[in-house]
């Protein structure tokens, strides 16, 4: 694999390890065969950029075990994403309720102020 291909792959993955999603410096990026060559993995689409930790973990584990582990990791990441989305929506809802209450309060005060003005005007008329 030439330097240009390597760099393209790294950029295509947004400078992140395909397995742990951590950002990796270009010089620390390693090229990994998703399906090991010994298991028939061939071609450009079988090549990914991984950090050294993931690559060596992958190398030390049987392929199926690493795949399971990766699937679990991906699921945990998806769950975390969902949790963040839920809490974001909750904040948005709290904010719109606060705005609504503020508006109601403002309307109420305006109403009271109007009543007070009317009352004062009435009193002024009586006294004159
Ligand atoms: Zn990694």
What are the pLDDT digits (tens) for 44-98? Answer: 778 899 999 999 988 888 888 888 888 888 888 888 888 888 888 888 887 888 8
CB-based contacts of 84-92 (< 8 A; 24+ apart in sequence) = none
Q: Rounded to whole angstroms, how far apart are CA atoms 114 and 117? A: 5
Q: Rounded to whole angstroms, how far apart are CA atoms 126 and 113? A: 20
| Per-residue pLDDT at 9 | 92
The structure's pTM equals: 0.58
Total domains present in the chain: 1
Q: Rounded to whole angstroms, how far apart are CA atoms 78 and 74? A: 6
> In this structure, what CATH number is given to the domain that contains residue 28?
3.40.1800.10
Q: Rounded to whole angstroms, how far apart are CA atoms 24 and 10? A: 9
Instruction: Report how far ligand 1's centroid is from the alpha carbon of 87 (Å).
Output: 27
Instruction: Report how far ligand 1's centroid is from the alpha carbon of 75 (Å).
Output: 16
Tell me the percentage of the chain whose pLDDT exceeds 90.
Answer: 22
5 vs 44, residue with greater confidence: 5
Instruction: Report how far ligand 1's centroid is from the alpha carbon of 81 (Å).
Output: 19
Task: Tell me whether residue 28 is in a domain.
Answer: yes
Task: Tell me whether residue 100 is in a domain.
Answer: no
């Amino acid at each position: 694999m030439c330097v240009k291909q390597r760099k393209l792959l790294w950029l295509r993955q947004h400078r992140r390890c395909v397995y742990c999603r951590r950002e990796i410096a270009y010089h620390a990026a390693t090229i990994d065969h998703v399906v090991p060559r010994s298991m028939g993995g061939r071609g450009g689409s079988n090549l990914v950029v991984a950090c050294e930790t993931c690559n060596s973990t992958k190398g030390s584990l049987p392929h199926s075990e690493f795949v399971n582990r990766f699937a679990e990791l991906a699921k945990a990441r998806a769950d975390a994403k969902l949790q963040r989305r839920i809490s974001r929506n909750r904040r948005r809802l709290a904010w719109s309720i606060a705005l609504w209450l503020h508006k109601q309060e403002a309307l109420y005060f305006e109403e009271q102020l109007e009543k007070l003005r009317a009352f004062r005007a009435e009193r002024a008329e009586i006294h004159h």
